[in-house]
Chains A and B, each alone.
Chain A
């Protein structure tokens, strides 16, 4: 008994010590993460939880809250204007996501083949520049460019296309594409830089052997570049689709949702509902809907991305 006991004590002690060691590492790890976790909790998780909570109330932001259950969500589905904003957001996906990613692939691939060295670096810098410029300033400048007396219409007139000039941001048919154009300008650089980096990681031997076999640029592009850039394309799509669905700044400074409701997106609507109309509950409900929508759209992209990697 005693020997057993004596024998057991050190082993248990060792076990505790080893276990404690692992736990100690865990605790130290948590402590390192703690500052970030606190900030994340305060500024991301708490607002998120509060937004969900507010979405079940009728509240003006100051006075007493009234519990209304799912009524705010029902209102969203019954109001054609609110549904319209969600449709506009999906139309923006084409402009903010598909075109920049598609163009980005082509430009990155062409630059990789043709513009190496200094010229390539300069081209990348120029194309990336819009990412550095404050969006509000960019929106105002684009507003001037796209106005009736603006530069774009002057150029159109100079090349004999005076008949198609118009106030692009004030035209019912063209306002959304015009906002989309600003989006392309902003997001194309981001896609190109990401995809260019991806291309440099592709084994040059693949391209060399393709060229020895006499492959054209198109052949290289389709059989080597695109398949091997799947992961980067996935990241580009994720970022740009979120930028489109949650768009606010570009739209707010260029059209503020007009003319009519032709460029109204959920971001603008949430802002107006919360801060102008002071319908905090309804605004929160629309924000929750937007979040769910983004997750629904983004998850398949992420999932496809993972599948492709295997």
Chain B
């Protein structure tokens, strides 16, 4: 009898094993995915109404997901606990590339983080995984803040960015432009920042003639193609920023293949042919380019203010910054400016406290000082908020001063690499690498990226 039982038991186990193999996925995983979108979809369109905006007197543990390698949110969390001792943190961290893969799963889990760094956001918002922050925006008066700050975090019902409901806030707002090596710039006779693209190109030619590398830039597929930076600055110099933003925000009918962008790409192609970039650019990674620039290789480099601390440390007092000049004298300069996006999970347990934190970051003086000193970027916030000053001689002072210039002109753009989640990896990077290798021309570059864009949006 025992043996028969054993036999039956063994058969049962084997049978159940095959059931797991065949039906397991269908019965456990798939419904979770569809259920999540069905039950949470209303939450996405219906704005959250804050009941008690503050972290309250009771102990709160904010669950957070931050990006490894960026100190700002950690330092801000520390300061927040100092000011509000009832709030403690449960922080997990991961590399940006891993956040892209893990964030959707974390958001869809039973215990999602209250506050999280968003590597991308449109698809999460569409799937109802992110909290609509409009309620908090009304409560805290975020909508009165200078317009471009919040626009990039708005998502319309058709999934286009730039307008609609608010799904994220920026911890700070980065700014891009041209960094230069002061000693080398002096050597080629640069006394002030160039006022037009032609003046800048003249400086490049002089650097080349002097036997210097005009521009240090990275281009390895491992860190993504850095020539996208000069290209986008050229685009904004030869055309308006509106259509570029429309393309990034996936507005219907938007195209990157425009006549003014073609002029921009042709200039970049000429720079490449003139040998203004390192010969091995296709193999240079981001960190290598930053290191080589601080070691004196390259008069200029296109980058953003997140690198300020690195440049200050590597070449103290010897690094300067200017906004990329317009095509015509007297025109307004443009720059890429992207928020360091943080959102709140749709099912967050302490959403009110997380929203309070986001407001505190932009409005509290101590928080703003941390933001400037550690991140090097503009902390944003309401008009008229005091701007903390960075250490004397830091390039951060130059990037902070440049921010309002771009802001007043209304010439800030998101990054063309952020248009879709893989346009950088599948479009810009390979096509710009081909441009360097002489296997692609300016017109072909824009056509190829545009068709990749259309292909990705259709999938």
Contacts and interface: CB of A to CB of B under 8 A. Distances in A.
Interface stretch (A103-111, A206-214, A257-265, A292-300): A257-265
Given A53-B26, A259-B437, A170 B284 contact: yes
Interface in A17-52: 20, 23-24, 27, 30-31, 34, 37-38, 41-42, 45-46, 49-50
B421 A276 contact: yes
B36 interface: yes
A112 interface: no
Interface in B378-416: none
Given A30-B14, A172-B437, A259-B434, A61 B104 contact: yes
Given A64-B37, A172-B439, A49 B22 contact: yes
Interface string B15-34: 00110111011100110011
B168 interface: no
Contacts of A31: 10
B279 A261 contact: no
Given A50-B25, A148-B280, A277-B459, A37 B17 contact: yes
A285 B144 CA distance: 48
A70 B436 CA distance: 37
A58 B456 CA distance: 12
A27 B129 contact: no
A30 B126 contact: no
A169 interface: yes
Contact of B429 (A53, A62, A169, A258): A258
Contacts of A143: 283
B325 to A, nearest CB: 30
A151 to B, nearest CB: 14
Interface in A78-113: 79, 81
B284 to A, nearest CB: 7
B25 A53 contact: yes
Given A46-B20, A50-B25, A276-B425, A60 B123 contact: yes
B459 A58 contact: yes
A162 to B, nearest CB: 13
Contacts of B429: 258
Interface residues of B, number: 61
B422 A45 contact: no
B456 A65 contact: no
Interface string B416-439: 000011100110011101101101
Contacts of A38: 17
B222 interface: yes
Contacts of B283: 143, 146-148, 167-171, 259
Contact of B21 (A41, A276, A282): A41
A-B pairs, 3 with minimum CB distance: A170-B283, A258-B221, A167-B280
Given A63-B123, A166-B279, A256-B220, 17 more contacts: A41-B17, A41-B18, A49-B25, A60-B123, A62-B127, A62-B129, A63-B37, A65-B33, A146-B283, A147-B283, A171-B282, A171-B437, A172-B434, A253-B222, A260-B431, A276-B100, A277-B426
Interface of B: 3, 6-7, 10, 13-14, 17-18, 20-22, 24-26, 29-30, 33-34, 36-38, 100-101, 104-105, 107-108, 123-124, 126-127, 129, 219-222, 278-284, 288, 420-422, 425-426, 429-431, 433-434, 436-437, 439-440, 455-456, 459
21 contacts: A27-B6, A30-B14, A45-B21, A61-B105, A63-B123, A65-B30, A170-B220, A171-B282, A255-B220, A255-B222, A258-B282, A258-B433, A259-B221, A259-B430, A260-B431, A260-B440, A272-B425, A275-B101, A276-B421, A278-B104, A278-B123
